């Protein structure tokens, strides 16, 4: 009889529900009383903090400085850039009053604002107004600013971490003297994100450019990183925008050039959000719960003391304390090992399964037998839950860094192999339809993936494909093959290769 996994339903049975159950089992987040908004619980927030800390280090190393800008944006600021306001209009939350007053036993909005304020959906306009004051001369350029903040985009179909009305993110904004410098900056920051995804989160992503249909409102170019997760849908994991001079003109960001001419600056913006936590879950987790690459795991090694009788307690606890002290002298990826002891008075099996579901890379059991033998019982999150290896304390401590590196590399190799296995080059319309059509429409199985094809279509064709198949062009990959095929939809020679898929 096959043992039932910890998470029900499984990925194959119901992927969307599986995702929600993994979040609940790992105690990452929950829905709040405000529809569409989530409460990020301590373990989920600790994962975000790990991401935030490393990204912040990389962003600062790239020459950007942190600042903070207002949560509220005057409506008139958004109206300055027509395409921008049109792109965000349906998602905006708007503040119209500044006081509550008692009326017939209830609180009602009182004094109306002179001008409505939009709760920050993104900050190009409010930061643009500041840039217009800060930049006077070419000597003030380039200006590189980053902000860690929350934003609000009213979401009709919320899903924890992936789509919520309020979420956390960082948004970088830069201004440059020339278009070439700004475009280079947008690409540089996309590559920074790409390296972070690979090295920290073990996530392979396709770097590419969005089509005009999918472009950020008001941008000249939008660059993106697309990740394929285990239900073979794409997640946009990060974006970087070359804004040209659109926002500079709208906000009056100008400078005196070396030749004495007044010119508009060239700007960029770029960001990633708590959506990365959802991407991490969907890419790496399994039917026993969350699975965390060691570099992003808040706790890399959990020690589980096995104490059945009170007279065993002192011996086992002392052994655990000694092991923690030895492990904390070791490092992995340039940081001390993150070790924790779970000393709660709970059965060992219950505690072990809890940490399986939380995704901790290494679980170490120590009882009286292990203390007497000078050994530890080691379980890895990338192996079956009941698989244990007995090692001497010295073997384990000396090999801990290598073991964590093996686990991290294994996460990357599995995710990369999955992406490659479910990316298909499409040569006909029939093949395209078959690729995105389930065998059983009544109960669709996991199907599809990334479809790569030579494209000679236009925006109207792109829209038609979306309407008929719910498939979009995720990106025009930056790394293009030199060969050019025939577009399966038009029969014409393709202009470039594109990647299509269903997406969150």
Q: Is the pLDDT of residue 221 over 50?
A: yes
- Rounded to the nearest integer, the mean pLDDT of the chain is 96
Least confident segment among 73-82, 314-323, 403-412: 73-82
What is the band of 88 on the pLDDT scale with cuts at 50, 70, 90? confident
For the stretch 9-67, pLDDT in tens is 999 999 999 999 999 999 999 999 999 999 999 999 999 999 999 999 999 999 999 99
Q: Is the pLDDT of residue 2 over 70?
A: no
Residue 239 pairs in a beta bridge with: 224, 271
| Nearest of 213, 194, 195 to residue 475 by alpha carbon | 213
Q: Is the pLDDT of residue 82 over 80?
A: no
DSSP letters, 111-170, are: SEEEEEEEE-S--HHHHHHHHHHH--BGGG-SEEEEEEEEEE---SS-BTTTB-SEEEEE
What is the band of 87 on the pLDDT scale with cuts at 50, 70, 90? confident
Least confident segment among 72-86, 202-216, 260-274, 354-368: 72-86
Q: What's phi and psi for 337, nearest 5 deg?
A: -60, 140
| Nearest of 302, 323, 305 to residue 368 by alpha carbon | 305
CA distance 31 to 41: 11
Cα 255 versus chain centre, distance = 36
Sequence-distant (6+) residues with CB within 8 A of 132 are 251, 252, 253, 254
End-to-end Cα spacing for the chain? 36
Mean pLDDT, to the nearest integer, of 344-350? 90
- Whether 306 and 344 have beta carbons less than 8 Å apart is answered as no
Distances (CA, A) of 68 to 119, 122, 169, 439: 15, 13, 12, 51
Helix then strand then coil, % of the chain, to nearest 5: 35, 30, 35
Q: Is the pLDDT of residue 1 over 50?
A: no
The pairs formed by 342-348 with CB atoms below 8 angstroms and a separation of 24 or more are 342/302, 342/303, 342/304, 342/305, 343/305, 343/317, 348/304, 348/306
Q: Is the pLDDT of residue 86 over 90?
A: no
Mean pLDDT, to the nearest integer, of 86-108? 92
Mean pLDDT, to the nearest integer, of 181-202? 98
- Whether 446 and 422 have beta carbons less than 8 Å apart is answered as no
For the stretch 400-424, pLDDT in tens is 999 999 999 999 999 999 999 999 9
Structure tokens of 78? Answer: 């958004």
Q: Is the pLDDT of residue 319 over 70?
A: yes
For the stretch 236-262, pLDDT in tens is 999 999 999 999 999 999 999 999 999
- Residue appearing with tokens 């070396």: 258
Alpha helices in 12-101 (DSSP H): 15-25, 42-61, 75-79, 82-88
């Amino acid at each position: 009889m096959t043992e039932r996994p910890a998470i029900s339903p499984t990925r194959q049975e119901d992927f969307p529900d599986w995702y929600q159950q993994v979040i609940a089992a790992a105690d990452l987040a929950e829905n709040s009383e405000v529809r569409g908004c989530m409460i990020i619980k301590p373990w989920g927030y600790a994962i975000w903090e790990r991401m935030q800390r490393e990204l912040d280090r990389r962003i600062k190393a790239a020459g950007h400085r942190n600042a903070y800008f207002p949560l509220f944006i005057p409506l008139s600021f958004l109206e300055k850039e027509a395409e921008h306001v049109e792109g965000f209009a349906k998602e905006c939350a708007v503040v119209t009053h500044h006081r509550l007053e008692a009326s017939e036993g209830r609180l009602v909005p009182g004094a109306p604002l002179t001008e409505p304020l939009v709760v920050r959906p993104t900050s190009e306009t409010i930061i643009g107004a500041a840039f217009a004051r800060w930049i006077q001369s070419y000597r003030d350029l380039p200006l590189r600013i980053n902000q860690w903040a929350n934003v609000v985009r009213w979401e009709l179909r919320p899903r924890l971490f992936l789509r919520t009305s309020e979420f956390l993110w960082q948004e970088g904004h830069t201004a440059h003297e020339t278009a070439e410098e700004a475009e280079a900056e947008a690409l540089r920051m996309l590559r920074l994100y790409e390296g972070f995804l690979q090295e920290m989160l073990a996530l392979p992503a396709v770097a590419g450019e969005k089509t005009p249909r999918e472009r950020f409102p008001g941008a000249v170019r939008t660059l993106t990183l697309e990740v394929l997760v285990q239900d073979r849908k794409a997640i946009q994991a990060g974006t970087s925008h070359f804004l040209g001079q659109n926002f500079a003109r709208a906000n009056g960001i100008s400078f005196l050039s070396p030749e004495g001419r007044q010119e508009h600056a060239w700007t960029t913006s770029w960001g990633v959000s708590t959506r990365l936590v959802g991407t991490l879950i969907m890419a790496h987790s399994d039917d026993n719960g969350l699975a965390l690459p060691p570099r992003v795991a808040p706790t890399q090694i959990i020690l589980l003391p096995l104490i059945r009788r009170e007279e065993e307690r002192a011996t086992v606890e002392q052994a655990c304390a000694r092991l923690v002290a030895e492990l904390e002298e070791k490092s992995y990826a340039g940081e001390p090992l993150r070790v924790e002891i779970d000393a709660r008075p709970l059965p060992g099996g219950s505690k072990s399964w809890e940490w399986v579901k939380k995704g901790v890379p290494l679980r170490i059991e120590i009882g009286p037998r292990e203390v007497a033998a000078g050994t530890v019982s080691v379980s890895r999150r990338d192996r079956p839950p009941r698989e244990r290896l007995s090692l001497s304390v010295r073997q384990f401590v000396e090999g801990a860094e290598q073991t964590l590196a093996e686990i991290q590399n294994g996460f990357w190799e599995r995710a990369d192999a999955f992406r490659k296995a479910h990316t298909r080059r499409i040569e006909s319309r029939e093949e395209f339809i078959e690729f995105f059509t389930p065998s059983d429409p009544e109960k669709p199985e996991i199907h599809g993936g990334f479809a790569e094809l030579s494209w000679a279509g236009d925006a109207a064709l792109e829209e038609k494909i979306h309407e008929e198949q719910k498939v979009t062009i995720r990106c025009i990959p930056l790394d293009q093959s030199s060969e050019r095929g025939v577009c399966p939809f038009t029969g014409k020679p393709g202009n470039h290769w594109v990647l299509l898929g269903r997406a969150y």
